[in-house]
Amino acid sequence: MVLNDPTTSSRPWWRDAVTYQVYVRSFADSNGDGVGDLQGITARLPYLQRLGVDALWITPFYPSPQHDHGYDVADYRDVDPRFGSLDDADRLVARAHELGLRVIVDLVPNHSSNEHEWFQAALAAGPGSPERARYLFRDGRGPDGSEPPNNWHSVFGGPAWTRVEDGQWYLHLFDSSQPDFDWRNPEVGDMFESVLRFWLDRGVDGFRIDVAHGLVKEESLRDQEIGADHMPGSGPAAPADPHAEHHHVHTAEGEHAQLLTAQSMVERRMRDEPMWDQPGVHEVYRRWRRVLEEYDGDKMLVAEAWTQTEESMARFVRPDEMHQAFNFSWLLAPWSAESFAEVIRSTIAAVEPVGASPTWVLSNHDVVRHVTRYGGGAQGLARARAATLTMLALPGSAYIYQGEELGLEEVDVPPESRQDPAWLRTGEVGRDGCRVPLPWGGTEPPFGFSLCQGQPWLPQPLEWAAVTAQVQAQDPDSTLDFYRRALAARRALVPHEGEHAGEIDLLPDAGEHVLAFRRDHLTVLLNCGDTPVPLPDGEIVIASGPVKGELPPDTAVWLEL
């Protein structure tokens, strides 16, 4: 039961797909060690099929010391024993395909783990060796080389350089356990081509490319200019990536509002970023595209690229590069009809000229869950459902993050349980709050996530007894039921052959606080204001909350007029 059966449609499956992000540690634990694993995912695939998604993206499950929970890869061609084996990976892919689900795996090419054999060899071989030339080792500044080679800061806080015993320094844009590769060295490109082929040969359908905007740095590795115009008040330690902006966004509502503003995007646009989004990075993706095209079955690449503008995002999806890029502008937009409309307009304007289709995402494992970003509680949930329903009507594809279908909020993880390297490096709250293992059923932790005695790797709140998948599956008003209905309704919106991203009309006259657009026979309204607005006559296909005669605040509706 494959959505876009290649025998009946020439439209590649990923163009309109809804992809469910599985954070492997926290999805389902089959062996009772308190950490999720591949067999756990396989066992839950029928849940994803029933939910109505088209694909799943699985975060890194390769051998790794887990300093950044798998985004520190020690071996790109194997499975960490915590998560299973290569056979488990093969069985997962085969079972997913039987159920009509595509599988996207996560590729981490910007950096490896410091436990990768190449980095260990680089340490052993010493300055000037070919082994060191696979990473970015440099001598330090100052008379005795005791100062870092430049002023860059790690996204996770602190300097982006660590000194090794012989006095040289290596660059790590993330944790010190994540040394950056030197992508100007052809050996690195050759290695990653073989890694792509390794997983393509095992049948995966695509790759999510981690830090896709970071692989190539400005060759000089010059200082980042930090002028008065750049991020006022944040000084030289200004984070160079919006992940970091979210580190201190937690439960205080005011803080979210303040940080997730258009202003913070504008400030970022003004920053000098010699470490991000350099032109040379695109050569890498052209090569990868050619590799994917040797395989049948519409294999795809999706970029995680925190670019400064939608236009620079669109450069990653030119016809000979990646197929998709996450559109983080949608996730960063504050709760306002005008901001949402502007993101839709500018996204489509950016991707259309390159012939790409847009993507939409509201939550992932790096940001505060959208229920909480929108204020939490009943209002946060109403807004989250409304934003999701709006997203699912937009042309292109959508990404949803595990647990959002249960309406989960960010968890206030106690400091002693936090594990995010950003927390460990800076003391800022970090990303653990959106990574708490899922509540599947039952009345107490681990809520069916695991057979473990006691707590899973991050503790679950006791209140989750009321929001387990099991409880929600019985309740027609639940968020889970709403997601199932919304995804089913979306399937009926099958785009025609040849429909392109621009085939949506924003309706400017719907009211100051109402986002409205038409797509084919469907009219979509989202009320971001605080008073109800009249509903045009028409048949309600689906609404994100109760609707009678008028469209209440914080609610979205799909109408057939």
Other C-beta atoms closer than 10 Å to the C-beta of 280 total 13
283 is catalytic: no
Asked if residues 286 and 320 have their Cβ atoms less than 8 Å apart, the reply is yes
Residue type, 129: S
CB of 148 to ligand NOJ, least distance (A): 20
CB of 399 to ligand NOJ, least distance (A): 12
Residues 433-452 that bind ligand NOJ (CB under 6 A): none
CB of 104 to ligand NOJ, least distance (A): 13
**Percent helix, percent strand, percent coil in the chain, to nearest 5:** 35, 15, 50
- Which conformational region is residue 395 in: left (phi greater than 0), alpha (psi within -120 to 50 degrees), or beta? beta
CB of 304 to ligand NOJ, least distance (A): 6
Residue nearest to ligand NOJ (CB): 71
Is residue 432 a contact point for ligand NOJ (CB under 6 A)?
Answer: no
Asked if residues 109 and 209 have their Cβ atoms less than 8 Å apart, the reply is yes
CB of 287 to ligand NOJ, least distance (A): 21
Binder of ligand NOJ out of 24, 74, 93, 211 (CB under 6 A): 211
Is residue 401 a contact point for ligand NOJ (CB under 6 A)?
Answer: no
Is residue 366 a contact point for ligand NOJ (CB under 6 A)?
Answer: yes
Binder of ligand NOJ out of 29, 210, 410, 428 (CB under 6 A): 210
Residue type, 1: M
Asked if residues 408 and 27 have their Cβ atoms less than 8 Å apart, the reply is no
Number of H helices, E strands in the chain: 16, 18
Is residue 174 a contact point for ligand NOJ (CB under 6 A)?
Answer: yes
CB of 170 to ligand NOJ, least distance (A): 16
Residue 93 vs 209, nearer CB to ligand NOJ: 209
Check whether the bond before 414 is cis (ω within 30° of 0): no
Residues with Cβ < 8 Å from 304, sequence gap 6 or more?
208, 209, 210, 211, 212, 325, 326
Residues 276-305 that bind ligand NOJ (CB under 6 A): 304
Asked if residues 239 and 245 have their Cβ atoms less than 8 Å apart, the reply is yes
Residue 179 vs 552, nearer CB to ligand NOJ: 179
- In whole angstroms, what is the distance from residue 408 CA to residue 118 CA? 40
Alpha-carbon distances, residue 556 vs 236, 430, 523, 542, 549 (angstroms) = 42, 31, 11, 9, 13
Other C-beta atoms closer than 10 Å to the C-beta of 357 total 22
Residues with Cβ < 8 Å from 422, sequence gap 6 or more?
155, 156, 157, 243, 244, 247, 428, 430, 431
Name which of 383, 397, 368 is nearest 252 in CA terms.
368
Is residue 108 a contact point for ligand NOJ (CB under 6 A)?
Answer: yes
CB of 110 to ligand NOJ, least distance (A): 7
CB of 428 to ligand NOJ, least distance (A): 14
Residues 512-551 that bind ligand NOJ (CB under 6 A): none
Of residues 165, 166, 201, 294, which has the active-site annotation? 294
Is residue 88 a contact point for ligand NOJ (CB under 6 A)?
Answer: no
Residue 375 vs 403, nearer CB to ligand NOJ: 403
Residue 400 vs 525, nearer CB to ligand NOJ: 400
416 is catalytic: no
Residues 297-356 that bind ligand NOJ (CB under 6 A): 304
Specify the DSSP class assigned to residue 111: B
Residues 45-74 that bind ligand NOJ (CB under 6 A): 68, 71
CB of 115 to ligand NOJ, least distance (A): 15
Residue 298 vs 420, nearer CB to ligand NOJ: 420
Residue 436 vs 525, nearer CB to ligand NOJ: 436
Residue 118 vs 558, nearer CB to ligand NOJ: 118
Q: Residue count at the site for ligand NOJ (CB under 6 A)? A: 9
Token pair of 449 as six digits: 């996530």
Q: What is the 3-state secondary structure (H, E, C) of 347-408?
A: HHHHHHHHCCCCEEECCCCCCCCHHHHCCCHHHHHHHHHHHHHHHHHCCCEEEEECCHHHCC
Name which of 206, 204, 210 is nearest 89 in CA terms.
204
Half-sphere exposure of 203 (CA within 13 A, CB side): 14
CB of 163 to ligand NOJ, least distance (A): 21
Residue 59 vs 224, nearer CB to ligand NOJ: 59
CA 544 to chain centre: 23
Residue 71 vs 207, nearer CB to ligand NOJ: 71
CA 433 to chain centre: 15
DSSP 70-87: TSS-S-TTS--TTT--HH
Residue 368 vs 486, nearer CB to ligand NOJ: 368
Of residues 131, 205, 210, 366, which has the active-site annotation? 210
Instruction: Catalog residues that contact ligand NOJ under the rule CB under 6 A.
Output: 68, 71, 108, 174, 210-211, 304, 365-366
Which residues does the annotation mark as catalytic? Answer: 210, 294
